[in-house]
Amino acid sequence: MTKYVWVLVLLLIAGTASAQIPNTLQQNNKIDYSLPQQYEIGGITVSGTNYLDPTALISVSGLKVGDKITVPGDEISRAIQKLWEMGVAGDIEVFASRIEGNKIFLNISIKDRPRLSRFNFTGINKSQRDALEKKISLARGKVVTDAVLNSTRNAIRKHFNEKSYLNAKVNITQRPDSVLPNSVVLNIHVDKGDKVKISEITFEGNEAFEDKKLRRQLKKTKEKKPLKIFTSSKFVRSDYENDKQLLIDFYNREGYRDAVIVSDSVYKTEEDRLGIRITVDEGDRYYFRNITWTGNYLYEDAYLSKVLGLSKGDVYNREELEKRLTYNPTTGIDVSALYQNDGYLFSNIEPVEIKVEGDSIDLEMRVTEGPQATINKIIITGNDKTSDHVILREVRTLPGQKYSRDDLIRTRNELANLGYFDQEQIGLVPEPNPEAGTVDIRYSVVERANDQISLSGGWGGAIGAVGTVGLTLNNFSTRKFFDLSQWRPIPSGDGQRLSLNVQANGKYYQSYSLSFTEPWLGGRKANSFSVSLFKTLRRIPGSDQDSRLNVDGVTVGLGRRLNWPDNFFLMNHSLSYNRYRLNNYALFSDFSNGDSHSISFINTLARNSVDNPLFPRRGSSLSLNVNLTPPYSLFTEKKNNYEFVEFHKWMFDASYFINLAGNLVLNTRAHFGFIGNYSADATPGPFERFKLGGSGLAGGNIFVGTEYIGLRGYEDESVVNDANPTLRSAGGIAFNKIVIEPRYLISPNPAATIYGLAFLEAGNSFGSFENYNPFKLYRSAGLGARIFMAQFGLLGFDYGWRLDTIPGRPNDKRGMFHFIIGQQIR
């Protein structure tokens, strides 16, 4: 501790300070210490410091010229304390330079503390140094105080403690900087020691559950075991405290509502190992007995009890009770939903324990229904790029309507499905006004990039290397196209979709496509309009003839949302025309020259209730697609004429999501497809086919109507259950496939949503209906991962293991990787 020395006239408090008076003053008896006297400050000077502002120091001290002070007294002591609290001085002295009558002239002598010029780490590697520099508050020019040194040591120890280096030691030494005056260099030596692992976790007082059951409730505090190579066993105090609460939460869920941790201890078992002992008092296990309702007029007791779903004798679980009363994320069915979906926003249900007898608890549900709330206005914030009307047309909570919680959640899902906003940051906040019986709904969004550009290359089989350039604008605006001020860098914000794709390898293969979609034609109803154009040219490499195939096509579509059977349904109709022009290009054995025309009417009825397009946790997606051409064979005698393509194609897809626990979701899928002709004598042509196997990517193939269906673990387009080589190469006219796929979300970040998956799937395609057997399936299993990035779409890989052998392909590999770009494996 620095001692305060006052020379000449120094304030003495209770005899703890000393004063030395100049001889001339002492001889003149100007100060009598046995008799305190009052002086007027005649002047104040500062000495000793080269870096601090004297005027500022005098101001901080609180002393002013003209002030009356008592010597000895408290004024000088308070001044020294204020200067010391600044933390910039190593020593402080206040003395009288002279005394003239009743005026005293003071001098404040300050010795500057050294300042930091730089600091160095020793004992750790570069990555550790970089991490520590972000956590310690050392900066060039900072005054080096004991508090600064202590906070630096503590920050470093905390950093290494979090990484299980509990024995980390920090030694900080100072040396003067030879270049900068009054500056020091800090050398920070860190000896982090060995990682300290948890060798054992034991429990005392537990009778209802075994130790291993209780250990599983500790999510981040785990024992070090030889076989648990992927389990972290480091000890982090904050994680341990959280895990203790999780342990009590587990007991509460199991009916032990009085369970407490009596004591716990952390002790060393070895130099780099520690043990944990937790003593619990479980208390009694309780059960629900009688549940009664009061204050409810809209719904009868029996109906509310049915929705609540708790019966006499069920284990008492307060957490589950609250979930079934207020919000059940698993089923979406809870008691409050009955009221809030009918406008009763101000309703409240309070469960009260009215009787505890033995191991049984009686509850009284006290219901306050309140008035119905009407939506007053909708407030939207955060949409810097997307126009208000694009958001408002997805909003299902309209002014003047009764408040509905389901509509609120549905609106959030609809906004997420647009793909324009960060799905994790879509906010929906009801702002009720009980006096007026109204509620304002505030939606907040955060824009994210969702346009996509693709630059890729691949191998197109016989045609060789293929390059692809694609651009998709997912929030385009034709309305702003001619307003140059709206090009930032492109006109956007009206929810339209414009896509351009070019694929080529030179003269052997070229493909161009352009599509545009307006999701709200006219702006009043959700009637979508789409148009797409494409052109493809393919030549046979190495052919001495001019062998080529040109395909041109256009599709125009109209779609609309339905309100029946419910408002999750969509219907789409489109008219498609494709022209195939062949020149010495054999598609079928009897067809290599000429033109084929395909005019088809495509009808799709779909229902989609998934809650999130990137990683659905619940909901389903159903689709029935019927593609029809005119029935040429019914009014012509030509049964194998490819001039006009004839077929009717039926496809059904179903996908269902179940949230098993947290980020673990089970997705089950089923897919079926059939192609036929109107006449039994007609043969399905080569243009409309099913090709099963591999990743489901078409590669360099250009058959517009061909459906490529993935079957992981098998070669691309390899699965056709037909012995006829021609039919095998052309593809199937029927297929079916089923998939069981558990998924686990690793990163929910919309900029890079990542999840892992496992799969079991089986499928087959058939070259003729005579061979069709829905129970003859080729099976596979494997693992995979998906990464969704807004700029590039979906990226992923799967490793599939083939469980069956396809006849005629005994040499196919058993296991193989499949890479996915821009689409889901169907």
Q: Give the pLDDT of residue 329.
A: 62
Is residue 14 pLDDT above 50, yes or no?
Answer: no
What's the rounded mean pLDDT across residues 213-225?
A: 91
Q: 769: pLDDT confidence band, cut at 50, 70 and 90?
A: confident
Encode burial over 639-654: b for 16+ CB neighbours within 10 A, e otherwise: eebbebbbbbbebebb
- 591: nearest Cα among 456, 716, 685: 685
What's the rounded mean pLDDT across residues 725-753?
A: 84
What's the rounded mean pLDDT across residues 177-199?
A: 88
What's the rounded mean pLDDT across residues 223-231?
A: 73
Q: Give the pLDDT of residue 4.
A: 36
Q: Give the pLDDT of residue 789.
A: 78
Say whether 795 sits in a helix, a strand or coil.
Answer: strand
Is residue 26 pLDDT above 60, yes or no?
Answer: no
Q: Give the pLDDT of residue 16.
A: 31
Structure-token pair, residue 304: 């509310």
What's the rounded mean pLDDT across residues 25-51?
A: 70
What's the rounded mean pLDDT across residues 509-532?
A: 93
In this structure, are residues 648 and 626 in contact, taking their beta carbons and an 8 Å threshold? Answer: yes
Q: Give the pLDDT of residue 703.
A: 53
Q: 652: pLDDT confidence band, cut at 50, 70 and 90?
A: very high
pLDDT tens-digit readout, 560-598: 999 899 989 999 999 999 999 988 887 766 778 888 899
DSSP 194: P
Q: Give the pLDDT of residue 625.
A: 96
Supply the DSSP string of 774-803, one letter for each residue.
TT--EEEEEEEEEEEETTTEEEEEEEEEE-
Is residue 25 pLDDT above 90, yes or no?
Answer: no
Report how far apart, in Å, the C-alpha atoms of 241 and of each of 223, 266, 657 are: 16, 12, 35
Is residue 463 pLDDT above 60, yes or no?
Answer: no
Q: Give the pLDDT of residue 451.
A: 85
**Exposed/middle/buried for residue 349 (C-beta within 10 Å: 0-12, 13-18, 19+):** buried
Q: Give the pLDDT of residue 38.
A: 84
Report how far apart, in Å, the C-alpha atoms of 500 and of each of 455, 530, 768 are: 12, 14, 37
- pTM of the predicted protein model: 0.70
Say whether 468 sits in a helix, a strand or coil.
Answer: strand
Q: Give the pLDDT of residue 540.
A: 80
What's the rounded mean pLDDT across residues 29-48?
A: 76
Task: Report the top-level CATH class of 6-112.
Answer: alpha beta
Q: Give the pLDDT of residue 729.
A: 65
Q: Give the pLDDT of residue 698.
A: 54
Is residue 557 pLDDT above 70, yes or no?
Answer: yes
- In the block, tokens 């906040």 appear at 429
Structure-token pair, residue 81: 């304390």
Rg for the chain, CA atoms, rounded: 40
Three-point CA angle 13, 15, 18, nearest 5°:
90
Is residue 265 pLDDT above 70, yes or no?
Answer: yes
Report how far residue 704's alpha carbon sits from residue 377's, in angstroms, rounded to the nearest whole number.
48
Close Cβ partners of 593 (under 8 Å, ≥ 6 residues apart)? 582, 583, 584, 585
Supply the DSSP string of 575-597, one letter for each residue.
EEEEEEEEES--SBTTB-SEEEE
Task: Report the top-level CATH class of 115-191.
Answer: alpha beta
Q: Tell me whether the CATH fold assigned to 115-191 matches the one assigned to 197-281.
A: yes
- In the block, tokens 């601090």 appear at 52
Q: Give the pLDDT of residue 327.
A: 79
Q: Give the pLDDT of residue 825.
A: 43
CB atoms within 10 A of CB 804: 15
Is residue 175 pLDDT above 60, yes or no?
Answer: yes
Please state at what angle helix 54-61 crosses helix 75-85, rounded to 10 degrees.
Answer: 120
Say whether 744 sits in a helix, a strand or coil.
Answer: strand
Q: 63: pLDDT confidence band, cut at 50, 70 and 90?
A: confident
Residues 625, 704, 722, 763, CA torsion sign: negative
pLDDT tens-digit readout, 327-342: 776 556 789 999 999 9
- 408: nearest Cα among 436, 439, 441: 441
Say whether 440 sits in a helix, a strand or coil.
Answer: strand
What's the rounded mean pLDDT across residues 757-772?
A: 92
Report how far apart, in Å, the C-alpha atoms of 592 and of each of 547, 596, 810 are: 9, 11, 32
**What is the side-by-side strand order in the sheet with 427-433?**
374-381, 438-444, 427-433
Report how far residue 271's alpha carbon sits from residue 222's, in angstroms, rounded to the nearest whole number.
18
Report how far residue 81's alpha carbon sits from residue 114's, in angstroms, rounded to the nearest whole number.
20
Q: What is the mean pLDDT of the chain?
A: 86
> Pairing state of beta strands 753-766 and 778-789?
antiparallel
Q: Which residues pair with 707 in a beta bridge?
A: 690
What's the rounded mean pLDDT across residues 281-291?
A: 96
Q: Give the pLDDT of residue 614.
A: 84
Domain 548-821 of CATH type 4.10.490.10: no
**197-281, CATH topology level:** Ubiquitin-like (UB roll) (3.10.20)
Report how far residue 349's alpha carbon sits from residue 338's, in angstroms, rounded to the nearest whole number.
12
Say whether 263 sits in a helix, a strand or coil.
Answer: strand
What's the rounded mean pLDDT across residues 99-110?
A: 86
| Residue count (the chain) | 826
Question: Domain limits of the chain?
Answer: 6-112, 115-191, 197-281, 287-368, 374-444, 449-518, 548-821
Give the residue with greater pLDDT, 812 vs 32.
812
- What percent of the chain shows pLDDT beyond 70? 88
- Specify the CATH number of the domain 287-368: 3.10.20.310
In this structure, are residues 292 and 367 in contact, taking their beta carbons and an 8 Å threshold? Answer: no
CB atoms within 10 A of CB 350: 11
- 511: nearest Cα among 466, 556, 471: 466
- In the block, tokens 């508050």 appear at 137
Report how far residue 674's alpha carbon sits from residue 647's, in angstroms, rounded to the nearest whole number.
10
Q: How many CA atoms lie within 13 A of 106 on its CB side?
A: 26
Is residue 808 pLDDT above 90, yes or no?
Answer: no
Strand blocks (E) in 166-325: 169-176, 183-191, 197-204, 260-270, 273-281, 287-294
Report how far residue 108's alpha carbon sits from residue 92's, in angstroms, rounded to the nearest whole number.
7
What's the rounded mean pLDDT across residues 605-627?
A: 93
Close Cβ partners of 721 (under 8 Å, ≥ 6 residues apart)? 732, 764, 765, 766, 767, 771, 773, 776, 807
What's the rounded mean pLDDT across residues 175-193?
A: 88
Which contiguous run of DSSP H or E holds residue 738?
strand 734-747
Report how far residue 312's alpha carbon sits from residue 521's, in angstroms, rounded to the nearest whole number.
56
Domain 374-444 of CATH type 3.10.20.310: yes
Q: 426: pLDDT confidence band, cut at 50, 70 and 90?
A: very high
Is residue 13 pLDDT above 70, yes or no?
Answer: no
Q: Measured over all CA atoms, what is the biggest interatomic distance in the chain, rounded to whole angstroms?
A: 142
> Pairing state of beta strands 648-661 and 664-676?
antiparallel
Q: Give the pLDDT of residue 1.
A: 37
Give the residue with greater pLDDT, 183 vs 438.
438
Q: How far is CA 587 from the centre of its chain?
A: 48
Report how far residue 228's alpha carbon sits from residue 233's, in angstroms, rounded to the nearest whole number.
9
Of 351-355, 454-458, 660-664, 717-721, which gets the smallest average pLDDT? 454-458
pLDDT tens-digit readout, 304-322: 999 999 999 999 999 999 9
Q: Give the pLDDT of residue 640.
A: 54
Encode burial over 107-132: b for 16+ CB neighbours within 10 A, e otherwise: bbbbebbbbbbebebeebeeebeeeb
- 738: nearest Cα among 768, 775, 772, 708: 775
Is residue 2 pLDDT above 50, yes or no?
Answer: no
- 336: nearest Cα among 362, 290, 368: 368
- 472: nearest Cα among 454, 452, 490, 488: 452
Q: 18: pLDDT confidence band, cut at 50, 70 and 90?
A: very low
Residues 612, 617, 620, 623, CA torsion sign: positive
Report how far residue 652's alpha carbon sits from residue 552's, in angstroms, rounded to the nearest whole number.
27
Is residue 735 pLDDT above 90, yes or no?
Answer: yes
Which contiguous run of DSSP H or E holds residue 807?
none
Q: Give the pLDDT of residue 19.
A: 32
Q: Which residues pair with 518 in a beta bridge?
A: 529
Of 209-218, 355-364, 453-462, 622-631, which gets the smallest average pLDDT? 453-462
Q: Give the pLDDT of residue 353.
A: 95
Q: Give the pLDDT of residue 23.
A: 30
